A and B are shown apart, each in its own frame.
Chain A
């Protein structure tokens, strides 16, 4: 008796029109159905590129670093703290800030898709939406961060926060030494998008 394996059917996918042609096709179809109001796409893109920004998250962190009362509000009712700045918005309506300490480092991921606090972090970057980050960071965050350029010392607990419902998170990183007396504007310059996601820690340039 022989066993045969049929290789006649492989796992190739069929053809598709180019992505840009499919995108344009859906745009034209929606326009024809009256579902795309005049200027809608331009306005959306303006919001995505010029309004949603990690500069806002950096401003919140710099404020929390310099004002214990605001820090307390940010950590107990992030939504209220962000609301004071008028920075709530789509994919950022219920905010929780995660406080890093000398023994705890938070890292944010959306393993199921790409969820991010858009209005205060900006749209999710490509790498954050990659299968590599979504699969690996929940299991081996120390190696993932090291590969990306951030060494987390042994003895510091890494807490991975998976964005699976409607809470949108930001990391409140530790304020680095050497920033004593800095203005909020100076401080905000070292709190990058990656610091807010949790894969980087704020760096002070050595003079």
Chain B
């Protein structure tokens, strides 16, 4: 989904609000909260996920589905809250009216899904460390774990995972045809990604095999 959440490489943001090692609780800070209610956010999310109401992939997608202005002006934990509430309303466990009654005011949710997702790639290929690959150019309207900056780019495989996971484009939509795939740490030359307009030398992205195609030697 080509959404506002896909921020890698977007220009004109200001300084990162942090000086290294400066945390309220010192340089070994564990959690970091700024409002009293924030510790609730992950707790409620995992209570729902543990009760098999939805997967964490679906949660990521429901946050991506926030109206773009709402996404940009909501705090991080607020987005977790909205994403969780949206899925609970969509799966029929709660109603938005109930939530608004309890909140005493408007409780806007994410926008509806506009794609059914897609199954695992049926033409899955196995790659080896050192292989040169290209990220598919096909963009998809549903959930996908490819940052926009590397679509269609070529890179080299640094690592193939020893574990497999279900394809996010399927499980992110609650589908059961996500199969099981390793992921690959694909290293790109930063100049292939951003041209001369970058200070990085290389960028590594952790990509499912279903997003990759071979580059002939």
Contacts and interface: CB of A to CB of B under 8 A. Distances in A.
B70 to A, nearest CB: 6
A109 B203 CA distance: 10
A94 B39 contact: no
B20 A199 contact: yes
Contacts of B34: 126
Contacts of A73: none
A129 interface: yes
Given A16-B107, A27-B44, A166-B161, A139 B207 contact: no
Contact of A135 (B11, B67, B168): B11
Given A48-B30, A159-B204, A27 B16 contact: no
Interface in B36-62: 36-44, 46-48, 51, 53, 60
Contact of B28 (A45, A55, A94): A55
Contacts of A163: 206
A200 B103 CA distance: 41
A166 B183 contact: yes
Contacts, number: 289
Residue from A17, A40, A143, A149 having most chain B Cβ neighbours under 10 A: A17
Given A13-B69, A17-B103, A26-B99, A127 B17 contact: yes
B206 A167 contact: yes
Contact of B197 (A18, A20, A139, A193): A139
A136 B103 CA distance: 36
Contact of A14 (B5, B106, B190): B106
Main secondary structure of the interface of A (DSSP, over half): mixed
Nearest to B146: A164
A180 B9 CA distance: 40
Q: How large is the interface on A (under 10, 10 to 19, 20 to 34, 35 or more residues)?
A: 35 or more
A49 interface: yes
Contacts of A40: 43, 47
Nearest to A152: B199
A23 interface: yes
Contact of A11 (B44, B69, B206): B69
Interface string A4-41: 00000001011111111111111111100101110011
A165 B194 CA distance: 22
By Cβ-Cβ distance, the 5 closest A-B pairs, closest first, are: A17-B105, A111-B8, A127-B18, A25-B102, A192-B27
6 contacts: A13-B70, A17-B103, A26-B81, A48-B42, A53-B28, A136-B11
Interface of B: 5-11, 13-21, 23, 27-32, 34-44, 46-48, 51, 53, 60, 63, 67, 69-70, 72-73, 75-78, 81-82, 84-85, 88, 93-94, 98-100, 102-108, 145-147, 149, 159, 161-163, 165, 168, 183, 185, 187, 190, 194, 197-208
Interface of A: 11, 13-30, 33, 35-37, 40-41, 44-45, 48-50, 52-55, 58, 77, 79, 90, 93-94, 96, 109, 111-114, 122-123, 125-127, 129-144, 147-150, 157-167, 192-194, 199-200
Given A25-B107, A41-B44, A159-B187, 7 more contacts: A19-B81, A26-B99, A130-B18, A136-B11, A159-B202, A164-B147, A199-B20
